[in-house]
């Protein structure tokens, strides 16, 4: 396997190298298994303590690390630097260039340079895609969809009519973008569907996980701002707005017309009610249920969601409930005995 010199790797990660600049590194590996030809990283104290015993050919470590027995590249963020090194040794694979003859292309298709469109893909009418777009097999792109540059759409993704994707968007397998929002009105006997006339807009540098469903707006747009990352099995309902660089973890759901701020974390299986707002940099804990608006910078847990520190106190109390029940029963018995006397 071809390798890279430590000098080149240090330049890639903007690091300070101590050691053999010409040493060849051939792979990246976890700290525990890295060998003489591997590079690894030590971002946590437990690994920094073991640097002298490491067999790795080189280690990415924090700026303040002192070690004389290994090749060290000191960086501000070892884990982030290691991501760059992983990409160096394992560059993303790319579909074969061009449009596969088994793809179905509609009328008025506008395509940028160097497309890769796989077999079984269906692209309907008036679709526009930018440069270097990869559309994997069996994806469906609806009428009037607009897709920016360097977008990757994995197999079995469906992007329905008029939705818009920005640049460098990644959509993992099985996701549906632009499905109808859940809108019905009852006449007292049966429910009538409310037409969903809006779109979904996804801005630059967003990654959507596998098997997400992102509903189109009733009017205007469901809007995923730049830098958002969603895990698998996330549902985003109609007219939701998700702010920049927010993270939404697996099996979370956001009900309609809710606004999520910037740099928010929605942990796994969290549920966010409709027509509320979650402020910037708020954190919603795992399995938490939020039914009211949340100020920025707040950390909530539990159902219904309460401040995290209060939730921790509640959980400590819950563990004592069996003992408390017994004490209350004993007190009631003693009171009855006193009253009987």
| Residues recognised as catalytic | 238
Quote the pLDDT of residue 307.
81
CA dihedral 238, 244, 245, 247 (to 10 degrees): -20
Helix, strand and coil percent figures for the chain, each rounded to 5: 15, 30, 55
- Tens digits of per-residue pLDDT, 238-258? 999 999 999 999 999 999 999
**Average pLDDT value for residue range 127-146:** 98
Instruction: Give the model confidence (pLDDT) of 16-42 as tens digits.
Output: 999 999 999 999 999 999 999 999 999
pLDDT of residue 1: 62
> Is the confidence at residue 8, as pLDDT, over 80?
yes
* Percent of the chain whose pLDDT exceeds 70: 100
How many helices and strands, by DSSP H and E, does the chain display?
5, 40
Residue 306, pLDDT > 90, answer no
Average model confidence (pLDDT) across the chain: 95
**What pLDDT score was predicted for residue 288?**
96
**Confidence category of residue 279, pLDDT binned at 50, 70, 90:** very high
Does residue 325 sit in helix, strand or coil? helix
319 has pLDDT over 90: no
CATH for 4-89 is: 3.40.1390.10
Return the CATH fold of 98-310: UDP N-Acetylglucosamine Acyltransferase; domain 1 (2.160.10)
pLDDT for residue 2 is more than 80:
no
| Long-range interactions of 19-26: CB distance < 8 A, separation 24+ | 19/58, 19/70, 19/71, 19/72, 20/71, 23/57, 23/58, 23/71, 25/57, 25/58, 26/1, 26/2
Does the pLDDT of residue 330 top 90, yes or no? no
The answer to whether residue 303 scores a pLDDT higher than 80 is yes
- Percentage of the chain beyond pLDDT 90 is 82
């Amino acid at each position: 396997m071809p390798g890279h010199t430590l000098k080149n790797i240090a330049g890639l990660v903007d690091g300070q190298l101590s050691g053999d600049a010409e040493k060849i590194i051939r792979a990246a590996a976890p700290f525990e298994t890295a060998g003489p030809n591997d590079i690894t990283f030590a971002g946590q104290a437990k690994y920094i303590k073991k640097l002298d015993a490491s067999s790795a050919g080189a280690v990415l470590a924090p700026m303040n690390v002192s070690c004389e027995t290994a090749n060290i590249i000191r960086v501000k963020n070892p884990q982030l630097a290691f991501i760059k090194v992983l990409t160096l040794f394992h560059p993303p694979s790319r579909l074969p260039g061009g449009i596969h003859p088994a793809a179905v292309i509609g009328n008025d298709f506008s395509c940028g340079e160097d497309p890769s469109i796989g077999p079984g893909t269906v692209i309907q009418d008036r679709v526009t895609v930018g440069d270097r777009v990869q559309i994997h097999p069996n994806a469906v792109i609806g009428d009037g969809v607009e897709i920016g540059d360097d977008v990757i759409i994995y197999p079995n993704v469906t992007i329905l009519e008029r939705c818009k994707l920005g640049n460098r968007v990644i959509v993992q397998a099985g996701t549906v973008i632009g499905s109808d929002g859940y809108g019905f009105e009852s006449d007292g006997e049966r429910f009538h569907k409310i037409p969903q006339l809006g779109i979904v807009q996804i801005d630059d540098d967003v990654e959507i996980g596998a098997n997400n469903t992102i509903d189109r707006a009733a009017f205007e747009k469901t809007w995923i701002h730049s830098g958002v990352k969603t895990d698998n099995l996330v549902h985003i309902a109609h007219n939701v707005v998700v702010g920049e660089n927010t993270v939404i973890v697996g099996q979370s759901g956001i009900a309609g017309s809710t606004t999520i701020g910037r740099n928010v974390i929605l942990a796994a299986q969290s549920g966010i009610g409709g027509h509320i707002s979650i402020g910037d940099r708020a954190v919603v804990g795992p399995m938490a249920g939020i039914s009211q608006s949340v100020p920025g910078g707040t950390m909530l847990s539990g159902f219904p969601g309460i401040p995290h520190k209060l939730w921790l106190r509640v959980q400590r109390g819950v563990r004592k409930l069996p003992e408390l029940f017994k004490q209350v029963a004993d007190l009631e018995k003693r009171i009855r005995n006193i009253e009987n006397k």
